Structure 1
Amino acid sequence: MSLEKELYEKFFRGYTRKQWDLDPSELDASVTARVPTRTNSDDLYFTDTFQAMPKNGYTEMFRKMLSHPNIHIMLNTNFRDVVNLIPHKKLIYTGPIDGYFDFRFGKLPYRSIDFKFETLDQDKYQATGTVNYPTSNLYTRITEFKHLTGQVHHKTTVVYEYPTGEGDPYYPIPRKENQEIYNRYKKLADEMPDVYFTGRLGTYKYYNMDQVVAQSLALFRKILKESEHEVQIQAV
């Protein structure tokens, strides 16, 4: 067996089949390309020059983002039930794009994750933050948060990730036929100048956290520029 074939069998194929419930040959090549190949001893997943997490975690980051007096959170609320009750000129939509258009071209498929948390009465559970399980067990990976946050405590919490086809939509499934369905929805979206579709679900694309933040900032700048242009026109 060649080295390429051996690495593929050990690291890619089993993990991909568990994660997506499909053989890698049935998915877009971008799925395999997400796993970096190293020719050095660097053991980090990403190669970015600067890598960091929010100082107080993502929960605090979102709490601050949502603390503005103009923002009102409505949980357990269907978008369709309130969209016509709240006055607005522009709409930023981060839900599934197919749902916005009442699934007229069919439902876009997603994969989800069933998270199983466990708190252990020991200082550390594993040697690094995340350990993947490409072939053994039903879960794909175990993450131990203390490695990521730097917390010091005599106990530790880990999470097991079990891929599933049910549950909240997390991962758009990158296949040609799915992309073709999305493109039909995108054509409808492009015809709605005051509705902005963004995020994983709104654009049916897998993004890392930093990419989502960058996309959101770019969208904000776009809307701001459009608004300034509208004000100028009204002034004239």
Structure 2
Amino acid sequence: MPPALAAALLLLAALAGIWWFQKGDLGEYRRFKALGDGHSRRMRFRLWLARAALAFLVPVPAGLALLGRIDALVVMPGEFVGLAGAMPPIFDGDAMRPMLIGGAVGGLVAGAVLARMRKRRPLGDVSALLPRDRRELKYTAALSVMAGVSEEAFFRLYLPLLIALVTGQVWIGFAASLVLFGAMHRYQGWTGIIATTALGAVMTGLYLMTGSLWVAMLVHGLVDLNGLVVTPLLGGTLGKSPPR
């Protein structure tokens, strides 16, 4: 099969996966907000984890393998190099990686401390996702890690690459992926859409400037862990059900 045709078919499958993942998400999230018992909430968390894996995690290595581009998981695709070269690198070599990791972890801790001091509310309508007890913490932690890994692999690498292969324009791939990433969070309301789109833009820049997908995965995961695990745990909100 010609590579262009394979990329087009995989792109259609990827878009279908996004549609399937967020189909009916507004009504589903409203029903989730109304759930009162912990068992039903934990079942919903497990369902979201499975759907995220099927929609965003599994297709990436499978699709890249079909394209003969599995190395893109560790080496930035050549299609991205021109755009990445237009951006300032934020580290050169392995010596700066511990500093980057330390900065990310430090930001996680600082964010949690500020949340403890200011009792700040999260951006967007995500209060229902906050864990209500310690049994839910493992699910919100798993969701945070899943989002960091699967969404970065899908929206920062796989989808932009497919669009670039089909259109011949890398910037269209990243722009379209960013729009779809923000739209996927429409259940959070306009504030959440804007916030997640901004986060996606930061992650895109981070990936292009570092040339390393794992860095974007790490930072994204830490951001979500801060909001869904560390802040509720240290901010004094654990065990307090949000108003409906």
What is the TM-score normalised by the length of structure 1? 0.25
Q: Which has the higher contact order (CA 8 A, sep 6+)?
A: 2
- Larger proportion of strand: 1
- Considering fraction of residues, name the structure with more helix: 2
Question: Who wins on radius of gyration, i.e. which is larger?
Answer: 1
State the TM-score, normalizing by the size of structure 2. 0.24
